[in-house]
Amino acid sequence: MTEQSSASPDELRTLEQWMEQYGRDVMSTAYAYVKNYHQAQDIAQEVFLRAYTKRDTFRGESSLRTWLLAITANRCKDYLRSWSKRYEVQDETVYHKEVSAADTEGEVVAKLQRDALWNAVHHLPDKFREVISLYYIQGLSSQEVAKVLCTTEQNVRTRLHRGRLLLKERLAEGGESRA
């Protein structure tokens, strides 16, 4: 925390801008990995703190967003391998955008379909869930997903294809089966 106390107002504004611009992306990526809203919040905070303290190591070889999502993916993987993750109670609440108060029947049906899809995505094996989340939810290109996950673009495309097939199969079965 000593670095924060010695930070200039311009540096703090930069951090605030990062959080405003990329906070939702970092948060939803973290949630896609850990499936726990509160843990995803903690990870998102850690990601921005880590990115801020290591900002001089950003080489600009990718976009700032891609760099932040790579930090997020790595931090989530560290968390999922950690001792504390193995011994915590799981929070099965679903993180998604709130539906407006003026729900119509069509909006309710659409929400149920989105929830079923989101649930099916969360029950995919990690290697498929992470590429689907980064590609469809975060809107990254396959090249950007490859950079975030430190893999090849062909591997990303293969995982996307196989992940979509698994999703289609699970949604046809009612989304109840798990791998």
State the SS3 of 35-73.
CCHHHHHHHHHHHHHHHHHCHHHCCCCCCHHHHHHHHHH
Residue 64 makes CB contacts below 8 A (sequence gap 6+) with 18, 22, 58
User: In 3D, which of 27, 5, 30, 1 has the Cα closest to residue 129?
Assistant: 30
Q: Is 21 found in the same domain as 67?
A: yes
Both tokens of 38, joined, read 């509160």
Q: Is 118 found in the same domain as 70?
A: no
Q: Is 69 found in the same domain as 127?
A: no
How many domains would you assign to the chain?
A: 2
Most confident of 7-11, 28-32, 115-119: 28-32
Note down the domain range covering 141: 105-172
* 91 lies in some domain: no
Predicted structure pTM score:
0.58
Residue 177 makes CB contacts below 8 A (sequence gap 6+) with 123, 170
Long-range contacts of 52-57 (CB under 8 A, 24+ apart): 52/3, 52/4, 52/11, 52/14, 52/15, 52/18, 53/3, 55/14
Mean pLDDT of all residues in 121-127? 84
**Reported confidence tier of residue 104, pLDDT bands at 50, 70, 90:** low
Q: Is 60 found in the same domain as 13?
A: yes
Q: Is 151 found in the same domain as 82?
A: no
Q: Is 121 exposed, middle or buried (0-12, 13-18, 19+ CB in 10 A)?
A: buried
* 42 lies in some domain: yes
Span 12-49, pLDDT tens digits: 888 889 989 999 999 988 888 888 888 889 999 999 98
Distance in angstroms (rounded) separating the CA atoms of residues 32 and 119: 10
Q: Is 121 found in the same domain as 157?
A: yes
- For the cut 90, the answer to whether the pLDDT of residue 154 exceeds it is yes
The better pLDDT of the pair 111, 11 is held by: 11
